[in-house]
Chains A and B, each alone.
Chain A
């Protein structure tokens, strides 16, 4: 129930005003009553007593649209502490202002050189603004470079929050105007993304993005053949929970360069979860949305589909820390499973109205079914802390190179704070395997070996893979030495592999496509 207060309320008219209010409230039992003070010029103590009596009956009484003069009176008399008093909002016009960003819930305009305003799409945006302010504050405290709004304003029929952003320019604009800065944009974009994903959020502070994803998969599942729908849901359910931060709308309009600082804006979708959900939304921003009609990405981001696709591919490679298509492509397949599910649900909820809509949904559905035919799990290794990417060393397999191999492995172990004892055990295993390859794989010729170190989290696990193209040789087939024999009967051979098996949590060997592939896995 809303009641307007107008003009002046003092001893001359207070009893009249009071009677009118009570007449209008007759029979109204809800405690929530709002007094709209937008047109209230002055209120005296007689008027304040009217409000006090109302407050006794209507406990959740609220006064809104309060001018700064009236606010001063309410503040001095302690009313601001007794009830909710909302100030009138400064009115800002965004007519003719440059749009510098756009998110799910609103557009960001530059209102002058140093300030921007984010205008919310829905009219009753005050609770959204409050929410965004809270999560932005949380993100800032946890180390994310972001802007926090300092004022709430009225923009037309909606509300906006004002941020100070010096000379801000979005990555979308940079890519549109200076496509040659692609590599720089990718590097900064991925650096910030990994930083965000590396942040652990205290329990209960942010919603889980997985819950959201499961909800849309359950809604759109029926659009697929039953066995595919069930497979998708089961695989999504198996994606591990995570307490790491997810931005939720991470595309180039929400990353801005302000001065020489790269900032993340539009924080209202902040959540926690596995990065596959973030990557799926990224895929959609650059590729998925515009997969049927490529003009969409040009309209939204301001650069052509070819740039968007390249930006996505380069970013994914940088995020995974490898250019190797054997690593990147399977992960992209998993990401696209989630991405298409999201798109299909979104489109179905927003209405499939014309031929293009129908063709678009058909294309997404067809691609998703193709993927579900070959993808058997949506889990993939997340680079630990968001800053220890999988890494490879290609090196000539000779024993002289052992120190380089050990240095390469140790450097990566140090980044994940590997305990001394585990590091020594891993070194022993790495030495044994590498020296084996160096001694036997190509003898008497020489050849190369690839050493790959990957770290995954929860629990922290190190996986080291050795690949060579030498003769097929399974070092694990060797019988364990008898370690109970006395010294004079002991043989020195086989101890290295024996220790490797003892110290690692898993050691596997396969020979495939002309390659010996040996992996060591150690849980830290």
Chain B
């Protein structure tokens, strides 16, 4: 289960994710991002309440990162220890802007 809380303000978007980002839930996030990012120059992903991320979730993050490199910037905030471990092993700590 994944709960996505969206906050759009002008060109700034904040997505707070809660639960599990895996093969079954990643498509929902992918769709939300695609529908919302038009004209957005700053994307913040708040992962404070994200319990789990698999390769399917990483795929969505990577694709969002690629989009935002062209459109502006993307930040990932409040990364907990569990998720950070995945980011480290996969080299995502180098390609994401983690705060």
A binding-site residues for B, Cβ under 8 Å = 399-400, 402-403, 420-421, 424-425, 427-428, 431-432, 435, 483-484, 486-488, 490, 492, 495-496, 498-499, 502-503
Chain B neighbourhood of A492, CB < 8 A: 55, 58-59, 62-63
Chain A neighbourhood of B90, CB < 8 A: 483, 495, 498-499
- In B38-63, which residues have CB < 8 Å from any A CB? 51-52, 54-56, 58-59, 62-63
Chain B neighbourhood of A435, CB < 8 A: 23, 56
Q: For residue A479, give the distance in angstroms from its CB to the closest CB of chain B.
A: 15
Contact of B62 among A403, A427, A431, A487 (CB under 8 A): A487
Give me 15 A-to-B residue pairs in the complex whose CB atoms sit less than 8 angstroms apart, sorted by A's number. Answer: A399-B24, A402-B23, A421-B81, A424-B52, A424-B82, A427-B52, A431-B22, A431-B54, A432-B55, A435-B23, A483-B94, A486-B94, A496-B54, A499-B89, A499-B90
**B66 adjacent to chain A (CB < 8 Å):** yes
Q: A424-B82, A427-B52, A495-B55 are in contact. List 10 more A-B contacts (CB 8 A).
A: A402-B24, A421-B81, A428-B55, A432-B55, A483-B90, A492-B63, A495-B59, A495-B90, A499-B55, A503-B89
Chain B neighbourhood of A432, CB < 8 A: 54-55
Please measure, in the bound complex, the distance between the C-alpha atom of A503 and the C-alpha atom of B91, giving whole angstroms.
14
* Contact B91 A484, beta carbon cutoff 8 Å: yes
* Contact B24 A403, beta carbon cutoff 8 Å: yes
* Contact B89 A502, beta carbon cutoff 8 Å: yes
Please measure, in the bound complex, the distance between the C-alpha atom of A486 and the C-alpha atom of B95, giving whole angstroms.
6
Please measure, in the bound complex, the distance between the C-alpha atom of A45 and the C-alpha atom of B64, giving whole angstroms.
102
Residue of A nearest to B27 (CB): A399
Please measure, in the bound complex, the distance between the C-alpha atom of A428 and the C-alpha atom of B58, giving whole angstroms.
11
Q: Given the known A-B contacts A399-B24, A496-B54, are A484 and B82 also in contact in the complex, defined by CB atoms under 8 Å? A: no
Chain A neighbourhood of B69, CB < 8 A: 487-488
* Contact A490 B95, beta carbon cutoff 8 Å: yes
Please measure, in the bound complex, the distance between the C-alpha atom of A432 and the C-alpha atom of B96, giving whole angstroms.
22
Please measure, in the bound complex, the distance between the C-alpha atom of A226 and the C-alpha atom of B23, giving whole angstroms.
58
